[in-house]
Amino acid sequence: MLPPSARLPPIKRIAAHPPASLNDALQYLSLIYSPPVRGTRRRRAPTSSSVNVSTSTSEEPGADELRTDAFERAYAIKWLTALVSTLGDEQEGAPGSAASAHAHLVETAAALLAACAGTSAAGVVTRTLIFPAAGAPVRIALTDAPLDNADYASVGAQTWGGACVMSEMIAEDPGAFGLGRTAPAGGAPLRLLELGAGTGLVSLVLAALASRATAPVEIVATDYYPSVLANLARNVRANYPSSPPPIITTVPLDWAAFPGTPHAQRPCALQAPFDVVFGADIVYEAPHAAWLRDCLATLLRRPAATSISASDPTPAPVFHLIIPLRATHAAESRTVEQVFARTAPPGTGGSGDDDAAMALVIEDMQTLVCTTETPGEEVTYAYYRIGWGPAAEV
């Protein structure tokens, strides 16, 4: 890739360039300072009307070097500032179509200015992700912290494709994920939990949609590693800078240790069970599925012994899990099927009314195929709905 100082139209001639040329320049800067997340463009039926605006592609060669070049970053900021100033002045007297084109360019440039300003020599990446939703799109500002070479687990401070795919699904159909219910009189808030939250994208999308609903919602975003938790809290503050009560609580959670921790010693936010739990791209080592099951045994609310009436607004407790089907982690992916045995057929595996016979089981599994802008390249995800049911006989 050419550096911005060589690739962008001259600052003094910005006004002379057509909108299409300026838009190309902005897209080029996006590849450097707001790189898209790979593997998030779901393959859809031709009749689908929704648009996945979280574009995905492999990072351009040389982008990382340019991103950490202080001179080129300063030049990009100067160029974007000039574009906003120039088009902002011209927008007032422009005809309708031209004014609209200028407004789009100014909005894109302003978002890139924030991304450039947040990009440090350490490799921090800021981006704005937009998800189509009823009423208005959900817009999330996100920061990916640089990888810590001394701690492989710091990958949690990066945004992964599974979180983008899950976030888009939630934005498209909030009701399928427990949101959008009517508030019961004096009812308890809907409690939502994200496991392995990473940059917090899923929790932030849930919060944005919950703020549009009438029913009270509590969201708890968890992770384990200090560097990831610090970046998670930073992203929450960036999107919700107002004072308490916070819409999202961030809490450390060690999956391996949590089940054996006495109830009184657990964080207050984790002492009551949750109605819906979310996990995106969080199974990448052999023990993870078993650790998750043992945590969910107390974290996911158990359904009432009697059937819930259709008028009850409380959703059935469920764990939504998305994992990529990577060839390099095939064994780890298979552990999900092994640990969360599928629901037993009727008449086998125990009675659903017998609490002792209930287990966390796979209720449904779908395969999601995502394309990238690299010809012929695909990323495949498995989406599981896991809930309480009669365990299959082994």
Q: At what angle do helices 288-299 and 330-339 cross, to 10 degrees?
A: 40
Q: Note every long-range contact of 50-55, with CB atoms under 8 Å and residues 24 or more positions apart, other chains counting.
A: 50/132, 50/172, 51/132, 52/132, 52/168, 53/129, 53/130, 53/131, 53/132, 53/137, 54/129, 54/130, 54/131, 54/164, 54/167, 54/168, 55/373
What pLDDT, on the 0 to 100 scale, is given for residue 182?
56
Instruction: Tell whether 331 and 195 lie within a shared domain.
Output: yes
What pLDDT, on the 0 to 100 scale, is given for residue 90?
60
Residues 317 and 303: beta-carbon distance below 8 Å: yes
Domain boundary among 123, 154, 185: 123
Using alpha carbons only, give the angle 282, 285, 290 rounded to the nearest 5 degrees: 80
Find the helix or strand (DSSP H, E) in which 194 lies: strand 190-195
Rounded-to-integer distance, Cα 217 and Cα 192, Å? 7
Is residue 40 over pLDDT 60? Answer: no
Instruction: Tell whether 233 and 368 lie within a shared domain.
Output: yes
Instruction: Tell whether 161 and 206 lie within a shared domain.
Output: yes
Rounded-to-integer distance, Cα 322 and Cα 221, Å? 16
What pLDDT, on the 0 to 100 scale, is given for residue 201?
95
- What mean pLDDT do residues 344-350 have? 49
- What mean pLDDT do residues 233-259 have? 88
Is residue 58 over pLDDT 50? Answer: no
What is the domain range of residue 89? Answer: 1-123
Q: What is the CATH number of the domain that holds 147?
A: 3.40.50.150
Out of 9-13, 188-192, 371-375, 389-393, pick the least confident. Answer: 371-375
92-116 tens-digit pLDDT: 555 566 677 888 888 888 877 766 7
Instruction: Tell whether 228 and 366 lie within a shared domain.
Output: yes
Structural Rg of the chain based on CA atoms? 23
What pLDDT, on the 0 to 100 scale, is given for residue 350?
44
Q: Is 220 helix (H, G, I), strand (E, B) or coil?
A: strand
The two three-digit tokens of residue 361, written as one number: 């089981």
282-321 tens-digit pLDDT: 998 889 999 999 999 999 999 875 444 445 556 689 999 9
126-181 tens-digit pLDDT: 778 889 999 899 999 888 876 554 444 444 556 788 899 999 999 999 999 988 76
Instruction: Tell whether 118 and 138 lie within a shared domain.
Output: no
129 in any annotated domain: no
Work out the mean pLDDT of the chain and round it to a whole number: 79
Which residues pair with residue 321 across a beta bridge? 279, 384
Domain count along the chain:
2
335 in any annotated domain: yes
What pLDDT, on the 0 to 100 scale, is given for residue 254?
96
